[in-house]
Amino acid sequence: MDGTKSVGASAKLVQLSAGSTAAINSIFDPTRVMPVESTVKGVGKEFTRTLPGYSIEVLEIAAQ
Calculate the CA 12 to chain-centre distance: 8
Domain boundaries of the chain, sorted by first residue: 7-63
The pTM of the full predicted model, rounded to 2 decimals, is 0.79
pLDDT of 1 > 80? The answer is no
Query: How would DSSP label each residue in 11-62?
Result: EEEEEEE-SSTT----SS-TTSS--EEEEEES--SS---PPPSSEEEEEEEE
What distance in Å separates the CA atoms of residue 14 and residue 11, rounded to the nearest whole number?
A: 10
Determine the Cα angle at 36 with ends 52 and 47, to 5°.
50
Over the stretch 8-54, which tens digit does the pLDDT of each residue have?
899 999 999 999 999 999 999 999 999 999 999 999 888 899 999 99
